[in-house]
Amino acid sequence: MRAQLTHSDDITTLLCDSLVIPFFKDLTLNADSRSINKATGKQLSRLLASDDFSGQLGQTTLLLLPNGIKAQRILLWGLGDKDKLSRQSWSRAADSLAATLNQQKIKHAAILGSLKLPSAVASAWSFQQLVSRINRSSYRYSTTKASVKAKQSTLAKISIVNAKNTTANKRAIKAGIAIGKGINTARELGNLPGNICTPKYLSSEARKLGRQHAGIKTTVLGEKQMKLLEMGSLLSVGHGSVEESQFIIMNYQGGKKSQQPHVLVGKGITFDSGGISLKPGAKMDEMKFDMCGAASVIGTMSAIAEMKLPINVVAVIAAAENMPSSRATKPGDVVTSMSGKTIEVLNTDAEGRLVLCDALTYVERFKPVSVVDIATLTGACIMALGHHATGLLSNNQDLAENLLKAGQDSADRAWQLPLWDEYQKQMESPFADLGNIGAGGAGTITAACFLSQFATKYPWAHLDIAGTAWNQGGGKGASGRPVAMLCQYLMNRSEQ
């Protein structure tokens, strides 16, 4: 999909399949919409006077083959009360428009960008969100559908018409396309079944990214190399599987060589049966989504390379399959992590932290400015925050606040939970330096406490996406979160 800023002195002569006209609830016409109204013999004002369109947030109404203009259809788009328009409500309205546009059989949509928005919704930001959400809405999963293919979107081009032709607006539209594409990359990886998206499949996708973008160098370590690095904790998770575990490093050099990198760490459990601590059968199919942290890292790297952000980023993915077998790690086994700390595996279904802890030790060598790990880590996070907010815990408040701000700016929000020393006691074990699960509740917090013991040498944050990585019910599928938040975070850091 392409997107661009366009200027038209006479909007009535603009050639497009669908001309989108935004309105607040007061239904006031501006200069562009007045010229359309005049050219159509006041078809527009008659439609606005009817009960068919009221300008409610997210409402869309279609007018086919309007008189007097070149556009094949007019689409009225409601933004609600101007005084109440916020970044969250703009994002909801954008989602509604995106769904309507991608359901139509059109190739080119032109959106009037001349409507004056309130200061809470800056024009550059609003265009980034709009383009990103239209792009991500075009995604349809069809890879493993042989007989009935999903109806694909035909939308190929978006024009923002008569908005200010500023560098900020141009950059925002470019970012919106890249972020939307990155989100769709993450969704596709998350939606693939575990028999296709194996650890080696993830490593092949990371290598492909390196071939597509000159700024990314990809390195993959196999189990023999991980043994030499003494990654005993990560390797213990894949013992029960015939699929070889993989450790993937993607190095993006967009800034000066002397700049210390930001690091992203993704949990890549391509299928999680729970191991010997076997999960219940109901909804176990959803455990193919346990690699969505890794998918979001690949999607983010794709987006920042597309944007050519002037920043250095290292992305690390710890990939394994957690299966029960005669070789699988057992509850009560003690493994030795790369850091040298020993871990009593009290529950083999708490495997994500076992792969992440070795990754967090490994990334010390990069002397990072910040480290953010992303993982579908705990069901407790769903109990605490539902499916709306990502859980955030950190050993550095400045980093936490920067991520929270990026979540607000991208409408991909997180909520911070405490990481107090009192919780660390729950990780004590009589047989090892620590256990892999806590006792006494607060499962999301104790999981982060475990990880924090391997992230002592740099500012670190943990994003628990167990409730946000995939959608439930009829629209079941990977969400692509938190690619938007991570991209916004890195964009903000690149500007400093």
Per-residue DSSP letters for 111-128? EE--SPPPTTS-HHHHHH
Residues facing residue 161 across a β-bridge: 6, 112
User: Where do runs of H (alpha helix) occur along 163-283?
Assistant: 167-191, 199-212, 223-228, 232-237
In this prediction, residue 120 carries a pLDDT of 86
Positive or negative torsion for Cα 345, 346, 351, 352: negative
In this prediction, residue 215 carries a pLDDT of 94
- Identify the CA nearest to 274 among candidates 327, 348, 326: 348
- Distance, CA of 284 to chain centre: 23
**Least reliable range by pLDDT among 229-238, 368-377, 399-408, 432-441:** 432-441
In this predicted structure, the answer to whether residue 3 has a pLDDT above a threshold of 80 is yes
| CB atoms closer than 10 angstroms to residue 143 | 13
Cβ contacts of residue 495 below 8 Å, gap of 6+? none
Alpha carbons 21 and 37: distance in angstroms, whole number: 11
Q: Any catalytic annotation for residue 353?
A: yes
The pLDDT tens digits of the residues spanning 398-424 come to 999 999 999 999 999 999 999 999 999
Alpha carbons 171 and 173: distance in angstroms, whole number: 6
- Identify the CA nearest to 424 among candidates 416, 413, 434, 409: 434
In this prediction, residue 148 carries a pLDDT of 65
The pLDDT tens digits of the residues spanning 431-448 come to 999 999 998 799 999 999
Catalytic residue among 25, 82, 279, 493: 279
Q: What is the DSSP letter of 366?
A: G
Q: Give the whole-number percent of the chain exceeding pLDDT 90.
A: 95
In this predicted structure, the answer to whether residue 390 has a pLDDT above a threshold of 70 is yes
Q: Any catalytic annotation for residue 279?
A: yes
Q: Are 431 and 334 a contacting pair, CB within 8 Å?
A: yes
The residue-averaged pLDDT of 107-122 equals 93
**Least reliable range by pLDDT among 111-125, 210-224, 363-377:** 111-125
> What amino acid is encoded at 362 in this protein?
Y
In this predicted structure, the answer to whether residue 200 has a pLDDT above a threshold of 70 is yes
The pLDDT tens digits of the residues spanning 146-176 come to 876 667 899 999 999 999 999 999 999 999 9
> What amino acid is encoded at 100 in this protein?
T
Q: Give the whole-number percent of the chain exceeding pLDDT 70.
A: 99
Domains, the chain, in order of start with CATH, read: 2-162 (3.40.220.10), 183-494 (3.40.630.10)
At 175 the three-state DSSP class reads helix
> What amino acid is encoded at 301 in this protein?
M
In this predicted structure, the answer to whether residue 496 has a pLDDT above a threshold of 80 is no
> What amino acid is encoded at 292 in this protein?
C
Alpha carbons 187 and 143: distance in angstroms, whole number: 12
